[in-house]
Each structure stands twice: as structure tokens, then as C-alpha cells.
Amino acid sequence: MSHQITVMVHTPAHSGIGGALTYESDTAHTPGTLVRVPLGSRELLGVVWDEAAPLPESAEPTAAPMQLRAIASVLAGLTPLSAHWRQLVQFAAHYYQRSPGEVALAALPSQLRDLSTEQWARRLKRKPKAVAAFEGTTQAMPTPTDEQAQVLADIAAHKGPFLLFGNTGSGKTEVYLRAAQAELERNPQAQILVMVPEINLTPQLEERFRARFAPKWGADCLVAMHSSLTPAQRLKNWLAAHNGEARIVLGTRMAVFSSMPHLQLIVVDEEHDPSYKQQEGARYSARDLAIYRGQLEGAKVILGSATPSLESWHHSRPATAAEPAGRYMRLAMPSRVGQGALPLVRRVDMNRQPYKTVFSNHLLDAMRERVTRGEQILVLLNRRGYAPVLNCNDCGWKSECPHCSAYRVFHKLDRTLRCHHCGFTQPVPRACPSCGNLDISPLGRGTEQLEEHLAELLAEVCRPDGEPIRITRIDADSTRLKGELERQLAEVHAGAVDVLVGTQMIAKGHDFRRVTLVAALNTDGALFSSDFRAPERLFSLLMQAAGRAGRDANMHLVSPCEMWVQSHHPMHPLFEALKQHDYPAFAEQQLKEREQATLPPFSFQALVRAEARSQEAAQSFLNAARDAGAALADELLVDLYPAVPMTIQRVANIERAQMLIECTSRKALQHFLVHWQADLHLLRSAHRQVIRWAVDVDPLAI
């Protein structure tokens, strides 16, 4: 008997097909089976989506016989993807306003798509190697601290989801390791998903997991899942997880879609990190999907952070007389394990410093003293390049990018002007392109210039061994080459570097043992940003940076570790809270402001962005969409704001506009977006100048 089979394929976004196509097949393939199907002249990989239905016989003479094409082939030897996995994809597609086919196929390794039937058959024949014996040193497990033991007992006894609020250095990783171990020992099939923001920045974590689990569960028990894997590696790791052989998957946001049939525990480390939000295609939040997936599959979920997102903090609020507790369980670990005290925070009032001061004299003295004693220093400046703009002192010409509404950054090392938005790069002009004046000079300061400036300021200073001090810079420019970041970090770890200058990259989870002073420069911009999340990001960055200092309790210190913040607003509540290392106080103040302004987490947002050759075209599409949705929005109490240009209005000669949608009910917002989508598709065909448009649900940057 013939069957009618629905198959999800990757159709281009907004093609109107929506992803599910119907085919004919002699076999009633199980949902989740991977197949190849013809579409036009091409053959596509697809996932059988629903239960097969018998093909209706065209008995009625009036009905035209259905012209279904047949499935081309089946990817043999592969267990079908689970119903849970398909439901996760379906949910993500629905919530983030994309087609399930797009989400499903993006979540599968590209080689499944690219290998021919013959290649696939050969790939299947490849015998898995015998489980390799672990060849590392087995490390003794540390005894958990009282705080860790309490937290682990809570995780064992409750359902979660859990927000593990643990100070930098409180031993969150040990909690993840033990919670994972408990699951592996309890259930001989259990699988664990551990997500981290950026795998390159946390090389130590993979080693720790391997060292802990490989001796007992084999060297192949852990696989990585991130975008720097080769297609072949990705397929291998994906298959290991899909077949249940890999017990632990360690990966970045994409790993949330790993096929793991026996998933028991999901860990989201540094859950506040913005890189959990996908910025193109389906703009999903891997953290939020982890919560959904945990609930769907009955797996426990642990979100961990020293500075949780205000959303997660709010969701984990304890019950009060007026209000029940949030839906997450908050677990706290305030102490630092085997590490020194948190650094003393010193604020420098830049209003009292001479004009154009880069380092106040007090800070410089403190830095000189420390490097002389052989201690390490981190200098944080969140702006790369030499100077953010080149300026003509005569006519006022500035190094604008001809293709973007932004300045090109001056990079002194290769003497270029580089646009950080579209990449447009030119050699630095000898004279002002506008008036011919030779006196063009940099305005402002980036990490490159800071490195150069520090070398002058510290030129006379020597290390304890009499050698001149070494300054290194780590940012997106210095680490462009593969392996360069690892090499630079290793140098810092080995103690070859005395002063490390860098962007937020240096604040992440590195374990720099000898850092005793952290200095943060030019942080004021975030205090008064138009983006309401800027203070949250700054606070978390500074807390993380502060956490880099004093990690070695055994280090003999002449004076306590310090974090210096130079600011024109040193008494700002954000710095007050930082001084006390008091995240809860900061969160409370911020949440109060957000509640008064009805901002997330007290409301829910979505953005529609449109790109066109002219700003007018982009805005007119959005405003037409606004008109089309107005009645429904009114009914559902959804606010539709007028279209506005994006902060960087033009990138690579494309004009960009956006429109904010806000509602106090997530459900109403979802309902609105689902119904409104048809309007947007329809309007798009009338607004031919629009190049692309996309909806961003729960956007992280406004």
C-alpha cells in the first residue's frame, strides 16, 4: 500500500512553503526518519515529521488524482530522531517565528546533507574504534565544601530548574561535575548536556570534565559540539550523541539541539552571557530553550552564574507575603574556594584628574609597584583598534565609512582605517582627503594605543629578575589567527606576561593565577546608554574581571588584590554595588527601575527589523505592517511602536530600520506574532525594495 508522508525540508525563509512537504512512499516510515526527497530539480535532506497516512485512492471521479512525488531514499542505519527532539524544534520554530524545516535542518550536521547515498553507506560501515583507554592522570576528587554539598543535596531533592548563583571562584564547576556524576551513576544510559558561551575561552573546562569522567566512562564519553569543528568531526560527535554512546556533550548554544535520547541533565554555565542568543536565522536563546527542553524531557536544568541575567534572577525570586516564589529555585554559593578574598574596589574620580588623563597617577603607582614584585595586571578597555576615529584638526574631516553610518577605526599596526561593521579597509591617508592638511590625528583610544601608551609609562619598570616587563594585548585583532588566542593565554598562564591589555575577552573564565590588580578604563558609556541592558552587561563584565584577581590563596601578598575603576561618575549606584561585590543589591535596584518602566522581565518584547536600499523603504514596510496589525494589537493589548532607524543605521550601504513590539503577556505577544506573520509575508511582496526582514523575539539589544 502506498503512504502519504510529510517531510520537513529546509526551504528558504519566507518562501511560504513553511517546510513540510508531502511525498509518496511504499513504506510507512517512522516519524524522525531521515530521508532524501526531490524538490524541483534538487534532492534535499528531510525529516519525516508526522505519522504516515494511507494514500487516499482517487475513487471519486471528480477529484484530480494527487500527483505526489516519491521519496528518493532513506538514510539507512540511523535511529529516527525522537518525538521530543521534533517537539523541541517545533516549539523553537513557533516561538521564534521561523519554519520548523529551517530549524530542524540547521540543527543537523551538514554532512548528513552533503554525503551521497554511497558515501553514507561507506560512513556507516566504518567500525567504531574500540573504546580508547584513558591516558591521563587520574585526579583525586576534591571534598565538596559545605556550600557545594548543600547545593548538591538541593539539586538531588528538587525538580528545578535551578539558578546556581555562585561567586567567581566559588566552585560552580565542581557542582556541575558532581551533579553530572550522580546522574551517570544513577542511570547507566544517562546523558548530560553542558553548555558554555564560547568554547575557545574555556579550554580548561573540557579538560576538567575529561579528567573526571574518562577514567571510569572511557575517553570517548565526552564529545564537543561547536562551530569550529570540521564537518566530519561534527558528524562523528553528533552520531555519538544520537546513538547514546557519548554520555556528555559539551558545547556552545547550537548544542541545545543535539539529539540525545537519554538526556537527564542540562547545565548552562555563565547563563547571563549574550552569546547564548543566536543572532541570525532563527534567533533563539539557547538558555531559554534549555529550560523548555528540560521540562519536555524531564531532565534537570542548572543555570549557573556569578552575575545572573536579571530575567533568571527575577524568575528565581523567593516567595514574599504578596507574591509566590518564581519558577526557578535559587541556590547560592557566596564563598570562594581555595582562593583569596575578592579584590578591594577603588574608584578614581576622573573629574579631579587633569584633562585627557588616561591612567591616574595613583593607579600608575600601584601598577608599577605590583609588576616590580612579579604580580600580574589586567587592563580592561572595551574598544579595539588604535583610535576609534581619525580626525583632521583643520577642517574637521573624520574617518567615516563611506558604506556605513559609522567611523572607521584607526589601526596603527598595519596603518589602516577599518570599518568594524562592513569590514571596508583602506590605508591611512597621508593627508586629509578633504582639505589636504597633513595634520590628521587619532581621537579617542583603543586597546592598541593603550598597549603602546603603557609601554612608555612603564618603560623604566623592571620585573623582580631585572628583565624589562612584558605587555601583551588580547582582543579580536590579536587573536584573528587560529590558535593565537590559546598561545597568548598560555603565555599569560606561564607568567611570561606582566601586563595584559584587552577587551572583554580577557574578563571571561580564564584562570590567571598571579593577577592581583585589574583596571577598567572608559566604562561610563554604558551608564547612560539608550539600551536598557547596558548597565547589566557592564556590571557583569566588571564583576567577572574583578573575579580574575586573587585566585591563588597561597600567593603571598604584600597588599590585597585590587580592582580600579576610573569614572566621571564614581558614585553611581552601579559602582557602589560593585564596591560591595553585591550583585543582589545591583539586581534589586535595576529590577525596580525595569518594573517602573515596564521593561523585561516585567514585559515581553519582539523587534521586527527590515533592510532596504533606502531608509524610507525600510520604514514604510514596517509602518505598513504596523497598520496591518493595529486592530489585533489593540485587542490583545500589544504595543506597536513606530519604525525607527537602527542605532547603526547603515551598514555596507544597506539602510536598516526596526520596530519594537511590547506586551505584558508573553502569551498575547506570541498570539499576535503568529497571526501577524501572514501580514508581513503579504506586505513584503508589495514592498519590493525591502531586501530582507526578520523578527527577533526576546531581543537582547534594542
Which residue ranges make up the site for Zn ion (CB under 5 A)?
392, 394-395, 397, 401, 403-404, 419, 421-422, 424, 432, 434-435, 437
Residue 403: all three cell numbers together = 558604506
- Cβ pair 200, 369 in contact under 8 A: no
Query: Closest CB to Zn ion among 397 and 532?
Result: 397
- Cβ pair 481, 358 in contact under 8 A: no
Q: Which residues contact 516 (CB under 8 A, 6 or more apart)?
A: 343, 370, 375, 376, 377, 549, 550, 555, 557, 561, 562
Query: Closest CB to Zn ion among 426 and 434?
Result: 434
Q: How far is the CB of 517 from Zn ion (least distance, A)?
A: 37
Rounded CA-CA distance 470/457 in Å is 13
Query: Closest CB to Zn ion among 22 and 649?
Result: 649
CA dihedral 268, 271, 274, 278 (to 10 degrees): 30
Query: Closest CB to Zn ion among 152 and 390?
Result: 390
Query: Closest CB to Zn ion among 397 and 641?
Result: 397
Query: Closest CB to Zn ion among 406 and 545?
Result: 406
Q: How far is the CB of 609 from Zn ion (least distance, A)?
A: 18
Q: How far is the CB of 408 from Zn ion (least distance, A)?
A: 7
Q: How far is the CB of 437 from Zn ion (least distance, A)?
A: 4
Query: Closest CB to Zn ion among 441 and 580?
Result: 441
Distances (CA, A) of 249 to 89, 212, 221, 276, 485: 19, 14, 9, 16, 23
Q: How far is the CB of 526 from Zn ion (least distance, A)?
A: 23
Rounded CA-CA distance 15/41 in Å is 17
Residue 463: all three cell numbers together = 620585573
Query: Closest CB to Zn ion among 369 and 394?
Result: 394
Q: How far is the CB of 401 from Zn ion (least distance, A)?
A: 3
Q: How far is the CB of 429 from Zn ion (least distance, A)?
A: 10
Query: Closest CB to Zn ion among 388 and 570?
Result: 388
Q: Give the Cβ contact number of residue 315 at 10 Å.
A: 20
Q: How far is the CB of 390 from Zn ion (least distance, A)?
A: 11
Rounded CA-CA distance 700/277 in Å is 8
Q: How far is the CB of 435 from Zn ion (least distance, A)?
A: 3
Rounded CA-CA distance 601/698 in Å is 10
Rounded CA-CA distance 357/372 in Å is 23
Query: Closest CB to Zn ion among 432 and 680?
Result: 432
Query: Closest CB to Zn ion among 291 and 404?
Result: 404
Q: How far is the CB of 644 from Zn ion (least distance, A)?
A: 21
Distances (CA, A) of 295 to 310, 448, 648: 21, 47, 39
Q: Residue 394: helix, strand or coil by DSSP?
A: coil
Closest CA to 497 of 381, 379, 376: 376
Q: How far is the CB of 421 from Zn ion (least distance, A)?
A: 5
Closest CA to 684 of 632, 633, 609: 609
Rounded CA-CA distance 398/391 in Å is 5
- Cβ pair 197, 268 in contact under 8 A: no
Closest CA to 509 of 274, 226, 200, 238: 200
Rounded CA-CA distance 336/386 in Å is 37
Helix/strand/coil percentages in the chain, nearest 5? 35, 25, 45
Residue 129: all three cell numbers together = 574504534
**What is the biggest distance separating any 2 CA atoms in the chain, rounded to whole angstroms?**
98
Q: How far is the CB of 689 from Zn ion (least distance, A)?
A: 21
Query: Closest CB to Zn ion among 4 and 426?
Result: 426
Q: How far is the CB of 613 from Zn ion (least distance, A)?
A: 16
State the distance between the two ends of the chain, measured CA to CA, in whole angstroms.
55
Query: Closest CB to Zn ion among 91 and 397?
Result: 397
Cis peptide leading into 161, omega within 30 of 0? yes
Query: Closest CB to Zn ion among 21 and 618?
Result: 618
* Residue the block writes with cell 585589574: 518
- The values of phi and psi at residue 123, to 5°, are -60, -40
- Cβ pair 196, 273 in contact under 8 A: no
Question: In Å, how far from its chain's centre is CA 91?
Answer: 20
Query: Closest CB to Zn ion among 471 and 651?
Result: 651
Closest CA to 46 of 67, 20, 12, 16: 20
Q: How far is the CB of 617 from Zn ion (least distance, A)?
A: 20
Helical packing angle, 534-546 and 583-596, nearest 10°: 180
Query: Closest CB to Zn ion among 421 and 671?
Result: 421
Q: How far is the CB of 227 from Zn ion (least distance, A)?
A: 24
Q: How far is the CB of 655 from Zn ion (least distance, A)?
A: 13
